[in-house]
Amino acid sequence: MPGFERFGVAERKSANEVLDSGVLMRYGFDGMRQGRWMAREMENALAKRMQSRHAHLVSSGTAALTVALASAGVGAGDEVIVPTFTFVASFEAVLSVGAIPVLCDVDDTLTLDPGAVREAITPKTRVIMPVHMCGSMADLRSLKAIADVHGLLLLEDACQAIGGSYEGKPLGSYGHIGCFSFDYVKTITCGEGGGLITDSDEIYEKAQAFSDHGHDHIGSDRGAEGHPHLGYNYRIGELNAAIGLVQLGRLDEFLDIQKTHYSRLRDVLESLEGVQLRRVPEGGIENYSFLNFFMQDENKARSVAKGLGKAGFDGVFYWYDNNWHYHRKWDHLKKLESLSPLSEALVSQFQATRTQSFEGSDHWMGRNLSILVKLSWDEKELQKRCRILKEVVSAGQDQ
């Protein structure tokens, strides 16, 4: 998956253009730039690729989620529905704006279960945040219908799924706002970076100001810009954007490679009895960055994960035991262990989550294995992995 596996001449050339100009900041210094505005160029390219009116780059995927929430007016006392399987950044962003993350079960898509979402909605709910984990999407049609009925914001965390689509729309563009991560291990990378897309003029204007200390960016004199509201510093730098601009232009190249490698491994699994592939919602196309499948039970999943590791098949994740991505080990969240005091209202409203069980999620995650699909595999490596996968999974059926 990681775009850094394919770094080449074009990425270096683009970065050197920034170094030659000496302008590393995305704003100002017009006369020194030699006509290049890397962040601005990448934003234009991202908006076009994602079929959206606006795109705005920030310093990380976490920053993108934070800016998106703030720009939509989400804050103190508001509830945001997030899945039990995600990266910790999802609930970190919610907490950062003073809102309350409401954990919700996932289903066999490994993303939000629409039925569980309906049950989780309260009068304080403001946002449904599906997280398109491991390259595939939530049942967005159902979630959008729920959001529309209740007047809620549908915020897509597509940080792991850039390049996928649903019903012909790029992931991230189906809801009201979509967020991406361009960190070092994503399908395309800026080294560090993130971005959001939206068709809303109002949200975009607020986002581009909020992420730069509230600057309105009107005129050509940065020192004279107005500050219509408070903001913070979530800016991306020109060096990061220069690399990301090239990588974005190579996205389809990367997706083609991932699809080829993914398909070969999937063919192996489909030939084996007792293996269930992750469900991709009808009308959805993955970005093929991970291949996910379910064993018959937790013991078999653990056995296969261990066996693949011993056989030298790296990049296999058993998320059920992972402390960054699954609710079972988010003790720091459940205990709200914060370096700075949190509001009494937030702590009080969050109480129920501390003892809440998620049997629906555990049913799927306890049996799930996830294979990272790499861009760097050659034919020999791919053949080797197909052989190991078949041998180990077949043997695991007998455990």
- pLDDT single digits (tens) 192-219: 999 999 999 999 999 999 999 999 999 9
* Strand-by-strand arrangement of the 125-128 sheet: 54-58, 194-198, 177-181, 153-157, 125-128, 79-83, 100-104
Catalytic residue among 144, 186, 300, 374: 186
Q: Return the pLDDT at 224.
A: 94
Average pLDDT of the residues in 40-45? 98
Average pLDDT of the residues in 237-265? 98
Average pLDDT of the residues in 327-338? 95
Greatest CA separation for the chain: 71
pLDDT exceeding 70 applies to what percent of the chain? 99
**Mean pLDDT for the chain?**
96
Q: Return the pLDDT at 399.
A: 63
Smallest CA-to-CA distance from 241 within 41, 9, 52, 33 is with 41
DSSP 107-129: -TTSSB-HHHHHHH--TTEEEE-
Q: Spell out the domains of the chain, with CATH numbers in brackets.
A: 3-250 (3.40.640.10), 252-396 (3.90.1150.10)
Which pLDDT tens digit goes with each residue over 224-247? 999 999 999 999 999 999 999 999
Split at pLDDT 50, 70, 90, the class of 80 is very high
Catalytic site residue 48? no
Q: Return the pLDDT at 396.
A: 80
DSSP 302-369: HHHHHHHHHTT---EE-GGG-TTTBGGG-HHHHTT--SSPPPHHHHHHTGGGGG---HHHHHHHTTEE
Q: Return the pLDDT at 398.
A: 67
- Helix/strand/coil for 276: strand
Average pLDDT of the residues in 338-364? 91
Split at pLDDT 50, 70, 90, the class of 284 is very high
Res 253 pLDDT > 90: yes
pTM for this predicted structure: 0.97
C-alpha angle with apex 102: 96 to 104, nearest 5 degrees? 135
Dist. CA 171–CA 159, nearest whole Å: 10
Q: Which two tokens stand for residue 284?
A: 């959805």
Q: Return the pLDDT at 351.
A: 84
Higher pLDDT among residues 351 and 194, named by residue:
194
3-state class percentages of the chain: helix first, strand second, coil last, to nearest 5: 45, 15, 40
Q: Return the pLDDT at 352.
A: 79
Q: Return the pLDDT at 38.
A: 98
Evaluate whether 153 touches 127 at the Cβ level (below 8 Å). Answer: yes
- φ and ψ of 185, to 5 deg: -110, 20
Give the CA dihedral 163, 384, 368, 350, nearest 10 degrees: -60
Q: Which two tokens stand for residue 306?
A: 């261990």
